[in-house]
Chains A and B, each alone.
Chain A
């Protein structure tokens, strides 16, 4: 490869990385809300699937990407409501309920997809890239950063908004307290269960959005298990990002890079590595992440524990 080709390659890579990071950014920031409030939702994978399916089905029926996104968020939140009811109201084990929701999400979406859509074979219109005037004409950088679709751009907004809500509002302050010392928040007059419910709903809504991006902003089809582990990778992103939204944005970009590398290297005929090795890259990197970023120093101390009100 000469220099020009390399630059083009890198520009395409960066653009693809951001695109592929998008579902992770939404899901991991959502999970940060949930975990900051003390609720560990390993049902993220199933929730994202529901979001992906609801988004697809709605866009299929209405031809509207926007309605699809809203449906994706709503679908995620319905799952969130189930999760919250079991883990917060009846205080069941969060891991067990999360595992059940993963099965349920995979099963329900596959069941409905096979029942109604698989034979149609039709795709949907997906969100189109918006070229930002002038900037998108910049060499290389324009291609990478200014020719994305609106959902990809919105990750920046969501990240900043999440950081502001978490650190600059009374809601965020209480949320951080609820995961660390729920009794103190309770005594201060805040309803711990209500905060945990809202944290889970924000979390699953964003996870649903992340899932919906897969069908509405990336591929134009629903595929069974389309999330292929992104919900679990998002859990690792949260640990790596030390429960900070801005951190999650950049860690997700890193993982997006692994996905992008995998896709682009597969397309390079000159590369002799078996494509399965590249396919496994995000998963291997997730494990390495967990080993490198050791310990639970920054984890909310009541993560995973139900709160008993008297």
Chain B
């Protein structure tokens, strides 16, 4: 293997060598997430087979099963919206070495804020009210994440633990609100009042649930990519994430950058929560999220913390989630299978990333 490479290096001129190197590294980079997903699917198939289900359903139903018509594609995109938002936001936090595990709670708080704004403020036009609802969600999510950020920079409290605790607190808070102060008095089930029509996130096609949130998610993911890679603030965030000591020496304000990064990720999760309420359910419920906040972590890691790639990995996880719903209906396979697949995807990503680094050293 090594000898072949050496021979090749002698034959080709330097430019071709550089090209060859770039190409092979790009191929290895792209191979990692693909291989990780394949391994996870294989594991999922094995799990089904061992427990008496049809293993090949993982491919036929989970991946292709939900692509039946435009409507089902729309449903996938609907699920992809929060995943892309949260995943892209977490890329920013993770690049700054902040382990925000609290996107789930930030989503709930965003949903609460969106509900408050969306059920009140009567008489606004849709052009004002709908964006205001989104803004409220984003601000609330940023603020909730900001608590963990503040506790980290001020008291060195581990954000891993605080963001998780804030998840529980946000979920309990939601439960309190929809059974208490915000409960729709006329309903038997714990839920809030319906959002005003003007506050609803506009749909793309009137007879499908898919709303413009997916477009907002894609645009924001691209924007965050540009922010991280091309802006000076994004540069500072990356430096802080890679080497906080050097960042301090260079005059960067580490605490401020940490706050910015965690608040961006919180804002994205909060916005996802706002879209769930204003675009999908139009009411606040106790279980407004099926775990999008945790799934977002897998989205970001599969994307190698690149917001642009989070669009693709978010779409993939949404497909799996839709497929798992179909699978539950058609074959009674518990839908939580999707959590197992997420876990295996993360493990495979880290395993293959290590393998890739080893390959690069050899090459």
Contact = CB atoms under 8 A, between A and B. Distances in A.
Nearest to B43: A104
Contacts of B175: 276
A170 interface: no
A251 interface: no
Contact of A95 (B51, B160, B162): B160
B338 A284 contact: no
Contacts of B51: 111-112, 115
Contacts of B172: 276, 279-280, 283
A123 interface: no
Interface string B154-182: 01111011101110110011011001100
Contacts of A91: 354
B294 interface: yes
Interface stretch (A54-62, A159-167, A185-193, A291-299): A291-299
Given A276-B176, A283-B165, A90 B351 contact: yes
Candidate in A97, A115, A228 with the most chain B CB atoms within 10 angstroms: A115
Interface in A79-107: 82, 86, 90-93, 95-97, 99-107
Contacts, number: 132
Contact of B161 (A115, A290, A294, A296): A290
Contacts of A276: 172-173, 175-176, 179
Contacts of A280: 168-169, 172-173
A115 B151 CA distance: 42
A96 B301 contact: yes
Interface stretch (B114-122, B239-247, B257-265, B339-347): B339-347
Contacts of A90: 350-351, 354
B298 A110 contact: no
A290 B152 CA distance: 10
B173 to A, nearest CB: 7
A96 B300 CA distance: 11
Contact of A287 (B47, B162, B297): B162
Interface string B331-363: 000101111111110110011011000000000
A111 B354 contact: no
Contacts of B227: none
Interface residues of A, number: 47
Candidate in A103, A112, A296 with the most chain B CB atoms within 10 angstroms: A103
B151 A232 contact: no
Given A92-B354, A97-B350, A111 B165 contact: no
Nearest to A113: B334
Contacts of A42: 160
Given A111-B47, A115-B334, A294 B165 contact: no
A229 interface: yes
Contact of A93 (B101, B169, B179, B350): B350
A111 B297 CA distance: 21
Nearest to B174: A276
Contacts of A149: none
Given A115-B334, A280-B169, A290 B346 contact: no
24 contacts: A91-B354, A93-B350, A96-B350, A97-B346, A100-B298, A100-B342, A100-B343, A100-B350, A103-B298, A106-B336, A107-B336, A108-B47, A111-B47, A111-B51, A111-B337, A112-B51, A224-B336, A235-B160, A274-B180, A277-B176, A280-B169, A284-B169, A286-B165, A290-B157
Given A103-B294, A111-B47, A290-B155, 5 more contacts: A102-B343, A111-B340, A280-B168, A283-B166, A287-B157
Interface of A: 42, 82, 86, 90-93, 95-97, 99-108, 110-112, 114-115, 224, 228-229, 232-233, 235-236, 239, 274, 276-277, 279-280, 283-284, 286-287, 290-291, 294-296
